[in-house]
Amino acid sequence: MLVAPFSGVNESTWEHMKLLFWPLLILAWVQQKDFKEFQNYWCIKFLGILVGLFAIPVLFYTYNGMFGKSPDWVNIAIFYVAVGLAFLLEGYLFQKNAVVCKRSTVPIGSLLFLGLLFILFTFFPPLLPLFQDPVAGTYGIHN
């Protein structure tokens, strides 16, 4: 039960998004000391994480809508593409210094709120397709 909020507990799209969120958040926290010269660091990291999080359901549901059920290798590829898009966006924004962020508290607070949702919805998921395990038909964690 202690690791459930930070790991996948079923095969739902939401749980796959959680598998992207926590490592990227931890990486952002670790990397921040190496990016001190960027005042927009947390805004860029927030945007990168958001792009990765949105890419997973967009790519998954688009593929499934076009071709039906996706094989496991496609689902894995979608995850890697989502991570790649997050890093590509971050790299571009850091290189161009294209984001103006007046307060880092907004993206940090937003990331913490997202983390809280990932924890909360592990145990109390909304009864929506995004949260439903397509294999078992269940929601959230079940012992």
Phi, psi of 122 (to 5 degrees): -65, -40
Rounded Cα gap, residues 37 and 22, in angstroms: 24
H helix or E strand, kind and range, residue 126: none
**Alpha carbons 35 and 38: distance in angstroms, whole number:** 6
Residue 78: give the domain boundaries. 20-31+39-125
pTM as predicted? 0.92
Instruction: Confirm whether 106 is domain-assigned.
Output: yes
Q: Can you tell me the distance from the alpha carbon of 31 to that of 26, in angstroms, rounded to the nearest whole number?
A: 9
83 close to 54: Cβ distance less than 8 angstroms: no
d(CA 55, CA 12): 15
Residue 103: pLDDT band (50, 70, 90) is confident
**2 belongs to a structural domain:** no
Higher pLDDT, 101 or 143: 101
With respect to residue 54, please indicate whether it lies within any of the assigned structural domains.
yes
Alpha carbon separation from 39 to 25, 34, 42, 106 (Å, rounded): 18, 12, 8, 13
- Does any domain span residue 3? no
Residue 7 lies in a domain: no
Q: Is residue 132 part of a domain?
A: no
Which band of pLDDT confidence, cut at 50, 70 and 90, is reported for residue 38? confident
Instruction: Specify if 8 maps to a domain.
Output: no
- For the chain, the domain total comes to 1
Report yes or no on 83 lying in a domain: yes
